[in-house]
Amino acid sequence: MSTKIGTIRSVKGTRDLLPPETSLWQRVEAEARAIFSAYNFREIRTPIIEQTPLFARSVGEDTDIVTKEMFTFSDRDNESITLRPEATASVVRAYIEHSLYNEGGIQKLYYVGPMFRRERPQKGRYRQFYQIGAEVLGSDQPTIDAEVLEMLMLLLSRLKLGNTALLLNSVGCPLCRPEYLKALRQTLDRVKRNLCSDCQRRAVTNPLRVLDCKVEADQPIIATLPSILDHLGPECRQHFDRVTAELNDRGISYTITPRLVRGLDYYTKTTFEITSGALGAQNAVLGGGRYDGLSELLGGPPTPGIGFSIGEDRLLLAVEAAAAFKAEEKLAVYVAWLGDTALAPASKLARDLRRQGLSVEIGYEPVKLKRSLGVASKLGAQFTVIIGEGEIANGKYQVKNMGTGEQQAVEPERLFQHVSESVPQ
Ligand code: HAM
């Protein structure tokens, strides 16, 4: 009896990242880690699964993320578990759980890892996607907001990303927001029947979310709704003015975008997004802002916070479009050995060069020289070292520069120096 086995494919909205593209991901992550470290951020790793109420409470019961997009399941003991749709809530949970506030001062933390949202997949939008994010906990100073944005702009410029725009707004705080929501509700009462059904519901349950609606037909109406910037209380106004003044001082350009409220409920005061012209419809490379009330909302001490998350998949699309970096892996040396007696010295040479940090590949079975050279050039090796009986007898190996075709006899001890002079490390 034979049953035909269907091929199993990756789950919808998820994808495999393959070499050589993964080398570009590593490059981007290395740049981010270096810059985070220069700004004294340290890495935090939180679990990929969390208790569902963490996100319901922090991201917000009425957001698209919580109502439609979470991968939530009931565990064997009936606990409701969710694959994290974002990491800010997890970072704040960990901050509270480990009493990081007892360490005094501010905590600057960063993370890199997968997030999960059950969205309709398209270019730049996946169900498993990656974020590179950073959070600062413990200060409400506008200088932090400006510094976080400065750090971001530095990262984007290191990655040679052109054609980006920093969109900036303030969404106020629990003191000034009620007055704004009143004005918003009043206007919405008049116009909501012309909005999409989601917005008609949001107009009642969470009117701020209407501003974040992505439905094209709703946009002309949304553009006429009152602006939160006209309703900021004195403290939020002053905070926003200081953030913009500090950005000016640092030479960072931005566009004030009063309808930028973001898709998560925890924000207070500063919110921002950076868009890239290199991306299509999904043009937000990153988003972030302040969340001064989140720690208290999750049962922790009052702790102001601000952070951002870069969508790494989108960042990579923009980096690829900018074409300043190429996905490539550099194999420095291919070791070709001819005849059984050459295997031992060849293996030793490969080991020694690898110990010194060069990227080395070696043939694993005896083949003719021509075939070895073919393999070496297919692998993109910069040099091929040829070791046969003659070379062993002479105490010098043949080293072929695969770019120029030049060949030279070099002593094994001098080989590392010979190769590393022309291989970028
Ligand atoms: P967010 O705006 O929901 O914010 O996501 C940040 C970025 O993640 C987006 O700008 C986008 O680049 C990327 N992203 C979101 N969903 C997807 C998807 N389905 N596929 C690919 N990329 C996606 C947050 O997550 C907040 N935690 C940001 C933050 C940190 N606020 C304060 N601290």
Give the binding-site residues of ligand 1, using a 6 Å CB cut-off.
86, 88, 117, 119, 124-126, 129, 131, 133, 135, 263-264, 284-289, 291, 307-309, 311, 313-314
Q: Containing H/E element for 353?
A: helix 343-355
CA distance 136 to 107: 6
* Ligand 1 midpoint to CA 309 (Å): 6
- pLDDT, position 58: 97
319 is written with which tokens?
A: 């980096």
Express each pLDDT in 259-273 by its tens digit. 898 889 999 999 999
CA-only gyration radius of the chain, Å: 28
Query: What pLDDT shows up at residue 19?
Result: 94
Nearest 5°: the CA angle 30, 132, 92 is: 130
What percentage of the chain carries pLDDT values higher than 90?
A: 88
Q: How far is the CA of 288 from the centre of ligand 1 (A)?
A: 8
CA 261–ligand 1 middle distance (angstroms): 13
Whether residue 425 has pLDDT greater than 60: no
385-417 pLDDT, tens digit per residue, is 999 999 999 999 999 999 999 999 999 999 999
The strand order across the sheet containing 49-51 reads 49-51, 80-83, 72-74
Segment 314-337, tens digit of pLDDT: 999 999 999 888 887 789 999 999
Tell how far the Cα of 398 is from the centroid of ligand 1, in angstroms: 53
Provide the greatest CA pair distance for the chain: 93
CA of residue 86 to ligand 1 center, whole Å = 7
pLDDT score recorded for residue 252: 98
pLDDT at position 1, please?
54
CA distance linking residue 318 with residue 160, whole number of Å: 9
Identify residue 349 by its one-letter amino acid code. Answer: L
- Over residues 227-255, the pLDDT tens digits come to 999 999 999 999 999 999 999 999 999 99
Query: Measured in angstroms, how far is the CA atom of residue 92 from the centroid of ligand 1?
Result: 16
Distance CA 77, CA 66 (A): 22
For position 418, what pLDDT does the model report?
Answer: 95
Report the distance separating Cα 94 and Cα 347, nearest Å.
48
Test site for ligand 1: of 65, 86, 312, most ligand atoms within 8 A of the Cβ: 86
In this prediction, residue 162 carries a pLDDT of 84
The ligand 1 atom nearest the CA atom of 309:
28
As beta bridge partners, residue 42 has: 109
Reported confidence tier of residue 281, pLDDT bands at 50, 70, 90: confident
Measured in whole angstroms, the distance separating CA 238 from the mean position of its chain's CA atoms is: 31
Instruction: Say if residue 41 is exposed, middle or buried (CB neighbours under 10 Å; 0-12, 13-18, 19+).
Output: buried
Atom of ligand 1 nearest to the CA of 117: 19
Helices (H), 225-301: 234-249, 294-297
What's the pLDDT score for residue 3?
61
Q: State residue 2's pLDDT score.
A: 56
Q: How far is CA 204 from the centre of its chain?
A: 34
Residue nearest to atom 21 of ligand 1 (CA): 125
Omega prior to 20 cis, within 30 of 0: yes
Q: Which residues of 138-162 are buried (b: 16+ CB within 10 A; e: fewer)?
A: bbbbbebbbbbbbbbbebbeebebe
Beta-carbon contacts of 106 under 8 Å, excluding residues fewer than 6 positions away, are: 136, 137, 138, 139, 144
Amino acid occupying residue 18: L
Q: What distance in Å separates the CA atoms of residue 42 and residue 56, rounded to the nearest whole number? A: 27
Structure tokens at 40: 């004294």
Q: What is the mean pLDDT of the chain?
A: 95
Residue 391 near residue 397, CB atoms below 8 Å: yes
Instruction: Return the pLDDT at 133.
Output: 98
pTM over 0.85: yes
Nearest CA to ligand 1 atom 25: 86
Q: What is the DSSP letter of 300?
A: S
Give the pLDDT confidence of 179-216 residue by residue, as tens digits: 999 999 999 999 999 999 999 998 998 898 899 888 99
Output the pLDDT for position 174: 94
**pLDDT above 90: residue 357:** yes
- Look up residue 106 and give its amino acid: I
- Pairwise CA distance, residues 122 & 124, whole Å: 6
Nearest to 168 by CA among 354, 303, 306, 301: 306
Q: Which atom of ligand 1 is nearest to the CA of 119?
A: 19
Q: Choose which residue among 118, 128, 131, 303 to substitute to test ligand 1 binding: the one with the highest number of ligand atoms within 8 A of its C-beta.
A: 131
Stretch among 64-68, 73-77, 92-96, 299-303 having the lowest mean pLDDT: 64-68
Helix (H, G, I), strand (E, B) or coil at 164: strand
Using DSSP, how many helices (H) and how many strands (E) does the chain show? 15, 16
**Ligand 1 mean position, distance from CA 232 (Å):** 26
Nearest-CA neighbor of 415 among 377, 393, 387?
387
Q: Other C-beta atoms within 10 Å of 396: how many?
A: 16
CA angle 347, 348, 349 (to 5 degrees): 90
Tell me, in angstroms, the distance from the centre of ligand 1 to residue 234's CA.
Answer: 30
